[in-house]
Amino acid sequence: MWSKMETLKFDSALWERVASLLEYDAAAPLTLTTGFFLFAFLIFGVGYVVLHRRVTLRNIYVVLFSLYFYYKLSGIYVLLLLFVALSDYLIGRRVARRRERGRGTRGWVALSVVINVAILVYFKATDFFVGLVNDLYGSGTLQWESVVVPAGVSFFVFQSIAYVVDIARGTIAPLRRFTDYLFLLSFFPKMFLGPLVKAREFIPQIEERGKVVTSEDMGRAVTLIAGGLVKYAIIAKALGVLFVAPAFDGEMGEGGLVALMAIYGFTLQIYCDFSGYSDIAVGVALMMGFRLPDNFDAPYKSATITEFWRRWHISLSSWLRDYLYISLGGNRRGRMRTYLNLFLTMLLGGLWHGVGLTFIAWGALHGVALALHKVWLEVVPKAKRVGSEMKLAWRIPAVLLTFHVVAFGWLLFTAEDMAQVGDMLRRIVVNFSFAEIDALVHGSGVAMVLMVVGYAMHALPKSVDMGVQRMVTRLGFVGQCIVVVVVIWMVMQCDMMLAAECGAGGGLPMYAAF
């Protein structure tokens, strides 16, 4: 039998463990791909099943879990989320009242935009401007600790701006309860990397009394989650750690083929990273009866840069079009203004990702490319044909050209500075040799296999995806659980391999909570 002292030690250790689950750990923030999230989501699911038909209690329950999730993701910045939610909830109601009375709403909309943009500027631009001043006037001119950017801040800020603008446009009515707006803003599956949801499509789901998840929904959800884990937690993570990061840092030599493959590798890595997480988010939400928009549609199959932005991060592209491009005037003020609006939209889109010359160059590249495509459509009207309408002989070279424009853009996006961009291009032009193939295969064989697998998955037609989804649906609950367990086991093996070979597991591994 245990002594009283041993019992007290056990109780103390247990309470310490419980307390640690409630505390924010900056070294291991919670995301949808951690083992602890899976554990927490299973517990959350029990309460959700009980409450899912009682709208008010269900929504409050989801909001509380979302706030807990965001606290575990970003710590004290959960207060920033609450501030943005309360601010735009009140502004939105004020805008609606003024609109009903036929009075102007621009001042209140502008206030919302100023508050939200100020938050983005502070977190995303402060370090850049401090560094610029120190470079100009000497190191140490401004004493400033680096600003930590809260996870998902761009997404909930954009979401909040869109809500107020939609009320001003008369697209939606303001939500009556603050908890419902907090639900819209903080819904945890989309919190970290999106997708952005349109209020007019998501608000009816918040107010829906009963949530029905069909067997087809569950099959799709499991397929999305399993595929998303493979892309996000295996391909993107391993490719970045094993090959892309070392190659960009020059640890794999100065060869041009290595530099080119590193660019191709990052092009795949960023796709698997964003689309994989989006798939997981859509799948988790679908298990709860909420439908989030698909966010990626095989973007590297695009034959034009315009088509690419219809397939890449679709919810962000739609936001930039609806709330930035159209607000600038869209295509309503002549050709030259249309080209300028496209350029400014993408330039601001680059600055949204980060303040720096590389992000500005990335946005400018896409802005110029979109404007040039508009010019091309004016000169060659038949070029408006896209997808299956294009002849294969034209589409193949068009896809290759678009892919390489996009890949060059990703070089600008990920490079530390323009000097690294120049160095990578110099290596490709000056030091290129196919003799490096053998060294690549032997030195980075796993990464090369992952690249082949990743691009092959991307190239698969939609019919294959639908076939896999139908197969997973037919497996039933037990079979679907086995699929998820197998994929989690694969992620565990990937984490252990990375930890053993590189001393880096890329964050909290899936198995860490068990």
Catalytic residue numbers?
A: 353
Distance CA 276, CA 284 (A): 12
3-state SS, residue 436: helix
Q: Are 247 and 258 in contact (CB under 8 A)?
A: yes
Tokens of 238: 């391993």
Torsion angle of the four alpha carbons 358, 359, 362, 366, in this order, in degrees rounded to the nearest 10: -160
3-state SS, residue 354: coil
Q: What separation in angstroms does the CA of 138 have from each of 141, 156, 209, 471?
A: 6, 37, 61, 63
Determine the length of the chain. 514
Question: Closest by alpha carbon to 25, among 12, 36, 15?
Answer: 36
Torsion angle of the four alpha carbons 21, 25, 28, 31, in this order, in degrees rounded to the nearest 10: 70
Q: Which residue has the tokens 């002549």?
A: 334
Distance CA 236, CA 423 (A): 24
Which residue type occupies 48?
Y
Identify the sign of the CA torsion 499, 501, 506, 510.
Answer: negative
- How far apart, in Å, do the first and last CA atoms of the chain sit? 27
Distance CA 110, CA 130 (A): 27
Return the number of other C-beta atoms located less than 10 Å from residue 83's C-beta.
13
Tokens of 81: 């989320």
Burial of 332 (C-beta count, 10 Å sphere; 0-12/13-18/19+): exposed
Distance CA 223, CA 229 (A): 10
Distance CA 103, CA 81 (A): 30
Cα–Cα–Cα angle for 219, 221, 226, rounded to 5 degrees:
95
The gap from C-alpha 205 to its chain's centroid, in whole angstroms, comes to: 22
Cβ within 8 Å of residue 284, ≥6 positions away? 32, 41, 189, 221, 225
Q: Which residue has the tokens 């640890």?
A: 251
Cβ within 8 Å of residue 129, ≥6 positions away? 355
Distance CA 276, CA 461 (A): 17
Distance CA 182, CA 90 (A): 12
Which residue type occupies 251?
E
